[in-house]
Amino acid sequence: MQNKARHHDRSIAVSTLYSLDFRGLLDAPFEEIDPFQGMNEEEVGALDEEDRVFIRFLVFGTLENREAIDSLISKYSLNRPIEKIDAVDRNILRVAFYQLEFSRDVHPAIVIDEAVKLSQELSNDVSFKFINGILDSARKDMEKK
């Protein structure tokens, strides 16, 4: 059950970041950001406290480290500038890189698998290959350190 809950939590975090990105609010002060954007009170209330904490952790951690995360995405996406990456994919990558590089609370293989699953659910049919390639390259470099 925990894995399904974490997957759902990551999906909420990606949706929140996508919404902020789409509306140009990624640099908004944290106190003005609702990490549960697009969810009604009943949906938020259905989340247990651990899930709400994890979603906040992903959203605010990603936002706090966004500049460094975006640099990493640019580094590994090679010929595709970050602003040219589909907004959903860009925010899936942001959450994944946050967990890979800054929180390191989950094994890299799980982070990559979750990002690929989110891409298959939220993006187009080929995005998961792009996301998998970028994150796998980053994982390999991390293992060399």
41: number of Cβ within 10 Å = 8
141: CB partners within 8 A, 6+ apart? none
Look at residue 79 in the predicted model and tell me its pLDDT: 80
Cα–Cα distances in Å, from 140 out to 100, 116, 145?
11, 17, 9
Look at residue 144 in the predicted model and tell me its pLDDT: 86
Q: What is the CATH number of the domain that holds 127?
A: 1.10.940.10
Cα–Cα distances in Å, from 8 out to 3, 5, 71, 145?
9, 5, 27, 31
Look at residue 4 in the predicted model and tell me its pLDDT: 77
pLDDT in tens, the chain (145 residues): 467 789 999 999 999 999 999 999 999 999 999 999 989 999 999 999 999 999 999 999 999 999 999 999 999 998 889 999 999 999 999 999 999 999 888 999 999 999 999 999 999 989 999 999 999 999 999 888 7
Task: Give the range of the structural domain holding residue 46, as residue numbers without chain letter.
Answer: 2-144
Number of domains in the chain: 1
Cα–Cα distances in Å, from 124 out to 5, 86, 88, 112?
23, 10, 9, 17
